[in-house]
Amino acid sequence: MLHEIGLSLGIVEWINDYKEFNAGPIVDLDADLKCALSEFSVPKSVSPSTVEMPGGTGTTDSEFVDMIGAAKEMSGKFDEKICSDISNEQIRQGNDLIEAIRREEFGLDPGISFAESGLLKKQHARLGRALQCLSNELYSQDSHFILELVQNADDNVYSAEVEPTLVFILHSNGIVVLNNERGFSDKNIRALCDVGNSTKKGLSSGYIGKKGIGFKSVFRVTDAPEIHSNGFHVKFDISEGEIGFILPTLVPPCDIKYINEKLLHSENQAVGEAWGTCIMLPFKPKHRSDLGRTSVLSMFSELHPSLLLFLKNLRCIKLKNHLDGTIITMRKVAGVDGMVLISHGTEEMNWLVVSRELNASEFRPEVKTTRISLAFRLDKTCTGEYEPHLDQQPTFAYLPLRKYGMRFILQADFSLPSSREEVDHDSAWNQWLLSKFPDLFVSALKSFCQLSFYKDKPARAISAFMAFVPLVGEVHGFFTSLPHMILSRLRVSDCLLLEGSVHEWIQPCRALRGWDNNARSLISDGLLRKHVGLSYSNRDIVLSAFLAKELAVQEYNPNLLVQILESVCGESDNIDVLSVEWVSLWLNSFYMTLATQSNENELDLLSRLRKVPFIPLSDSLYVSMTDGPVWFPCNLSALQLGDLSVIKQFQYLYSNLRTVSPAIFSYCSDEYSGAKRRVENIIAILQKLGVKQLSAHDVIKNHILEYNFGEGATETKKELFVEFVSFVFEHFQTHCSDCCIEKADIIEKLRKEPIILTTSGFKSPVAESIHFSKEFGNCISVDSLICGTGITWHEVDNTYLKHTKYAVAKWREFLKDLGVSDFVQLIEVQKQVTDGDVPVRDWLSPEMDALLSEISRTGNLGKSKYLLQVLDELWDDCFSQKMNEEIRPMFFLSTFAKRLCDFKWVTSSWDDELHFPTELFYKHEPVFSVLGANAPYAIPKITSKALLKHLGFKVEVQFDDILSAIKSWTNSTSHKASISQMLKLYSLAWDETTSSREKLSNFKASLCIFLPSVHPPDQTEVVPGVFLSPAEAYWDDPAGCLDLIREMNHKGFSTSTVSSVYPGLYDFFVTACGVLESPSPNKYFEILLQVARFKSPKQAAHVVLRVLLRWADDLSSGKMKSEQLMELINNLVKEESTVLPTIQDRWVSLHPNFGLVCWTDRKELIEEFTDAHNVYFVHFGELTDAESEALSGKLANILQEIGVTSLEEVLSRKAIFYDVVDISEKACMVNWVLPYAQQYIYSKHPSVYLQLQQVGNN
């Protein structure tokens, strides 16, 4: 222990003693082992029971208490036994190198100064922290250290006579790693004591590890790994500081041979197979528990046998597990046909490995060549056959990285990040390597075919090879593009065999698969090659349907049969050469192929077939179904009975029918046992193509509905089309059982064709809107809406009424089903909801769009009102069900409903303009009671509640409506409203703004308060009024000035109190909206200025008195601030601020030009100084007793404050002596009383005494 501490701290004396100790004689290891065993007990987590090991040797955990059993103890106490085949000189040289590294690389020299030592400690701590971060973040999994150790072992140097082997020994307290390499060199040791200084950098052939950081991954499981190799005995200990990641510490030697015998139980190891390196990894504390050891055991699942495939040197890996007494051996040997055989216990895995050397000098000058490889696992069955093993395999960069979804192993010298856990996506080198794999993969097919067990079965070789082809979507990450690249190479390569040949290869796009003998009898090789350019591929080749599709291999399917038939019929006289018999065979084969194969494109195929002229008619012509309807042959029983009435009535209709030639059913020769079945098949497929038996109902479904209406109607076709509609109409009047089920379908198909004769020609009810005329009972005056607009309006022609005997009501019912309407027509379309794939029904009306657009453009109020009236009458019966559709949890609003709100087309009671429906109010009590007549109401008033809802007329007053209304009212020159209406409006606004600061802010910004010009006796009476802003209005007027101003009715100045109109809304107007409770002092001053301009002092004296009293109250209560008082005084001093009434009946201010402005309540003084020059008495007229009392009280105070002094204060009195008098008696009395008076004032009124004393001193 002391030696170890001395080596760690660099104490010279202890190091020398350690050297002498090592130079001494070798002691008995067994004795030391027994000593060590006696000191340490078995850990609690290990069962003391005996574990059976391979070979029958019973060993208990007490015999290997720690990681190396008797050789060492995990805490750092070692058996100081030197391995017999390592000389003392080698050990001494190794120790010298370690000491040199510690001294030269880390500055651990006892001779350095204290300051230098402190600096080194800081540098070491900083470097240690960086290494700690690197260790924690470098690898995402603890198990990665196992692969790093395998990597290092593969990069080691081995003697020629040994089998390169790596052994992991796992027990309760740690892991021992043994490797039979030659041993570590000085460079190896120096590389371990550094970061990024690997000895494998710069080698032309490339090594697995090149970064110099791989060994650091062992710190994920240990704090102090030890290395014993070639005379080097060193550990890296991070338990006392992170610098231990790279700082070597000498440890006593260890007998590797003894560890081999005791832990590996390999006593018979050959002399040439001695272990050159032993690495000891004592567990961290967290891994010594049961759970920790379980996690460590799971780490060794990374040791898959395929690990050996691409290692350059290593041939064998062993795992000895002392926890469960098992040993696992994995070995790589050469197999048959150049394959690689990997044994894993009793299991054997065969791998076909194909490789290619690449010239890498252009991309990496330091690497001349590099090799890429692919490995395919083939499992040997119990019958001796080989089958592909299709589990996902990892990608290798000599060692496994991770799985990318491929069923084969892909190996290359990829550029990897430091974690070695996946391929670097951004590396150009990796992209170049990736581009070389598709050609290598395609070339592997040849290797498959050359395997001895596939040589006579090339189809099986191809099937096995194709099973490994990666498909799009299976591979991810960096290799996502690999399936595309491989499939692209395979598509252009000859990788499939022709049927009946082992030497003729073809490209996938030229091969036909899935065929049978019947197919070859129908379609010869020459016919197949001529018309579709294909050849029959070997039927033994097995391809998945998806892979065949990706390779563009053609399937034998109905589509191919149609393709061949189209090509045959596309050449002149070809169908005649092939004959009706060939057509018969083809129809039977096509039906059977449809029946046996699931084909999603059956409807499309039948649609294509209907365009091919291959159906033989009775007149020997070959026609297509698109040329016109075709019928099966039928009897003429009706004609034989002489019933010609139907034919005469519909002579154009019956002259249009065609029938199939009966010869097509007669070519069922005796060589086919299922002749009857063939006839049934031919009939069935012809029925799918549209050939039907002749009947009234079938004439409608299979002739009228299948007729080509697209060319327009000539005069002859005009009669034919009219007969079509009339025929369907009359047939619907009968009680046809088929029509009960199919009537809706017939109607739907008829609607799609231009079959209805209108005033504008033949029209399709789906393509264009068609309407009833007055003759068909339409009561809407459409002319009043479309007159002068240029809108096209199609009405049904009256010809139909003349063609049959049925009443108009029957025709209306039939034509309504076809889509004819009295007013605008709604068209149903399918749409996808944006938030999902749910289809919904939508309704459009181009006619309504045109009407709305025209009315909106012209501003025609009459048409607007009539359109709204018509919609109100028809809405509930015709339109209300087509406004929206429920798509849980919401409703989808139809386009028709939206368009009604997208145009300005509704007339308003407010003005002579058109508006959007959503801009107008519906006139009823909830709205009228709040907005009165001063709101835009829609006219005419509608009665349909559904229409009201869909148009979006406002049926209640919202907060935004209040803001808009107030804004429009304040912009008008005059406004009339009732007090009750405005009271409701402001109350509603109060309710809305109570819970929302934003609404309150918006309302205050646009608030104007309606004040009536006159106060009506009834609050519901509509009266004129004005709107005032909050700055112009006041809740109350204690001085009573505002009414005077209002009576004066001065232009541009209108004022009144809010409380007189809305007494209950104090909190709303004052507290919430900021209306002032009363005018401010300056506002009263402005009012006085207005009063003084139009009233004489005698008329307005009481007004000034009330204002002054209000100022006095505000001053005493604190409402008037000192700043306001000063501003008021400054205003009164101005010469033009003449607001003070005087007894001389003149308005004055406190400007010096007016002389002395004062007040007094003494009449004798007023009479004496009234005529004095530049002396004005402020006079308020006749005063009441209360006013007189206020004059000498609070009024005097405010006058004093604003600068109006009392006359008594400015008067000076002089004694006028008329003669000399003796007052000595009175002077004596004063002198006698004065001391007593002073004492009384001093005791009762000390503050007054102090003031008098100060005056006396002054």
**pLDDT 10s digits, 878-910:** 887 766 655 545 566 788 888 888 899 999 988
Q: Which residue has the tokens 């309704």?
A: 843
787 pLDDT exceeds 70? yes
Contacts of residue 8, Cβ cutoff 8 Å, sequence gap at least 6? 237, 240, 249
Point out the least confidently predicted range of 320-334, 660-674, 912-926, 959-973: 660-674
Q: Which of 446, 527, 437 has its CA nearest to residue 481?
A: 437
Question: Phi and psi (nearest 5°) for 373?
Answer: -145, 155
Point out the least confidently predicted range of 6-10, 1009-1013, 1014-1018, 1055-1059: 6-10
Contacts of residue 278, Cβ cutoff 8 Å, sequence gap at least 6? 176, 177, 178, 227, 228, 229, 254, 256, 259
Q: Which amino acid is at 778?
A: N
Q: What is the pLDDT of residue 962?
A: 82
Residues 660-686 as b/e (b if ≥16 CB within 10 A, e otherwise) read bbeebbebbeeeeeeeeebbebbbebb
Q: Kindly state whether residues 948 and 970 are assigned to the same domain.
A: no
pLDDT digits (tens, 9 = 90+) for 473-526: 999 999 999 999 999 999 999 999 998 888 889 999 999 998 888 888 888 888
Q: Which residue has the tokens 């191919």?
A: 560
CA angle 1150, 1156, 1161 (to 5 degrees): 100
Q: Averaging pLDDT over each range in 15-19, 637-641, 1019-1023, which range is the top one?
A: 1019-1023
How far apart are alpha carbons 462 and 504 in whole angstroms?
Answer: 14
Of the residues 924, 956, 988, which one is the last residue of a structural domain? 956
Question: Phi and psi (nearest 5°) for 692?
Answer: -135, 165
Q: Is 164:314 a contact under the CB 8 Å cutoff?
A: yes
Q: What is the pLDDT of residue 645?
A: 56
Question: Phi and psi (nearest 5°) for 163?
Answer: -90, 110
pLDDT digits (tens, 9 = 90+) for 376-402: 999 988 887 889 999 999 999 888 888
Q: Does some domain include residue 740?
A: yes
Q: Kindly state whether residues 1019 and 1109 are assigned to the same domain.
A: yes
Q: Is 380:386 a contact under the CB 8 Å cutoff?
A: yes
317 pLDDT exceeds 90? yes
Q: Does some domain include residue 553?
A: no
63 pLDDT exceeds 80? no
Residues 903-936 as b/e (b if ≥16 CB within 10 A, e otherwise) read bbbbbbebeeebbbbebbbbbeeebbebbbeebb
DSSP 1056-1123: -BSTTT-TT-HIIIIIIT--BSS--HHHHHHHHHHHHHHS-HHHHHHHHHHHHHHHHHHHHHT-S-HH
Whole-angstrom Cα Rg for the chain: 56
Q: What is the pLDDT of residue 1145?
A: 86
Point out the least confidently predicted range of 164-168, 681-685, 716-720, 765-769: 716-720
Q: Does some domain include residue 569?
A: no
Q: Kindly state whether residues 655 and 721 are assigned to the same domain.
A: no
Q: How many CB atoms lie within 10 A of CB 26?
A: 13
Q: Is 690:610 a contact under the CB 8 Å cutoff?
A: yes
Q: Kindly state whether residues 971 and 1047 are assigned to the same domain.
A: yes
The pair of structure tokens assigned to 60 is 């208990």
Q: How many CB atoms lie within 10 A of CB 881?
A: 12
**Is the peptide bond between 889 and the residue preceding it cis, with omega within 30 degrees of 0?**
yes
Q: Kindly state whether residues 1204 and 1116 are assigned to the same domain.
A: yes
pLDDT digits (tens, 9 = 90+) for 1022-1074: 888 888 888 778 888 877 777 677 666 544 334 468 888 888 888 888 888 88
Q: What is the pLDDT of residue 1027?
A: 82
User: What band does 266 get if pLDDT is binned at 50, 70 and 90?
Assistant: low
Q: Kindly state whether residues 237 and 90 are assigned to the same domain.
A: yes
Q: Kindly state whether residues 625 and 712 are assigned to the same domain.
A: no
Q: Kindly state whether residues 148 and 238 are assigned to the same domain.
A: yes
Report CA dihedral (800, 801, 806, 812) to the nearest 10 degrees: 80
Q: Is the dihedral of CA 956, 960, 966, 967 positive or negative?
A: negative
Q: Which amino acid is at 145?
A: F
User: CA separation (Å) from 219 to 65, 245, 654?
Assistant: 22, 8, 96
Of the residues 788, 822, 856, which one is the last residue of a structural domain? 822
Of the residues 632, 662, 694, which one is the last residue of a structural domain? 694
Q: What is the pLDDT of residue 52?
A: 34
How far apart are alpha carbons 1058 and 1086 in whole angstroms?
Answer: 20
Q: Kindly state whether residues 994 and 979 are assigned to the same domain.
A: yes
Give strand ranges (E) for 34-112: 51-52, 58-59, 72-73, 77-78
Query: What pTM, to 2 d.p., does this model score?
Result: 0.50
The pair of structure tokens assigned to 830 is 């399918």
Q: How many CB atoms lie within 10 A of CB 266?
A: 18
Q: Does some domain include residue 549?
A: no
Q: Kindly state whether residues 348 and 319 are assigned to the same domain.
A: no
Q: Which of 1110, 1142, 1252, 1125 has its CA nearest to residue 1201?
A: 1125
Mean pLDDT throughout 804-825? 86
Q: Which of 939, 857, 870 has its CA nearest to residue 906?
A: 939
Q: Is 176:259 a contact under the CB 8 Å cutoff?
A: yes
Q: What is the pLDDT of residue 651?
A: 66
User: How many structural domains comprise the chain?
Assistant: 7
Q: What is the pLDDT of residue 716?
A: 66
User: CA separation (Å) from 457 to 386, 448, 536?
Assistant: 12, 10, 18
Q: Which residues does residue 616 pair with via DSSP β-bridges, in sequence order?
A: 622
Q: Which amino acid is at 658?
A: R
User: What band does 64 get if pLDDT is binned at 50, 70 and 90?
Assistant: very low
Q: What is the pLDDT of residue 547?
A: 93
Q: How many CB atoms lie within 10 A of CB 1077?
A: 16
Q: Does some domain include residue 558?
A: no
pLDDT digits (tens, 9 = 90+) for 1117-1148: 888 888 888 888 888 888 888 889 988 889 99
Q: Kindly state whether residues 903 and 774 are assigned to the same domain.
A: no
Per the structure, the complete domain to which residue 1037 belongs is given by: 960-1210
Helix (H) or strand (E) holding 1027, with range, is: strand 1022-1028
Per the model's pLDDT, the better-predicted residue between 314 and 1049 turns out to be: 314
Tell me, rounded to whole angstroms, the distance of Cα 727 from its chain centroid.
58
Burial status of residue 428 (CB atoms within 10 A of its CB: 0-12, 13-18, 19 or more)? exposed
Q: Does some domain include residue 192?
A: yes
Q: Does some domain include residue 476?
A: yes
Q: Which residues does residue 59 pair with via DSSP β-bridges, in sequence order?
A: 51
Mean pLDDT throughout 8-32? 49
Helices 959-971 + 997-1006 axis angle, to 10: 10
1232 pLDDT exceeds 60? yes
268 pLDDT exceeds 80? no
Q: What is the pLDDT of residue 38?
A: 34
Q: Domain holding 268: CATH number?
A: 3.30.565.10
pLDDT digits (tens, 9 = 90+) for 174-201: 999 999 999 898 888 888 888 766 655 5
Average pLDDT for the chain: 80
User: CA separation (Å) from 847 to 5, 670, 822, 852, 871?
Assistant: 100, 65, 12, 9, 14
User: CA separation (Å) from 158 to 181, 232, 1100?
Assistant: 5, 18, 125
638 pLDDT exceeds 80? no
The pair of structure tokens assigned to 797 is 């022609």
Point out the least confidently predicted range of 302-306, 447-451, 810-814: 302-306
Q: Is 716:652 a contact under the CB 8 Å cutoff?
A: yes
Q: Kindly state whether residues 190 and 316 are assigned to the same domain.
A: yes
Mean pLDDT throughout 199-209? 50
Point out the least confidently predicted range of 150-159, 468-477, 646-655, 840-849: 646-655
1257 pLDDT exceeds 60? yes
pLDDT digits (tens, 9 = 90+) for 702-735: 788 888 877 666 666 788 888 888 888 888 888 8
Q: Does some domain include residue 753?
A: yes
Per the model's pLDDT, the better-predicted residue between 1100 and 120 turns out to be: 1100
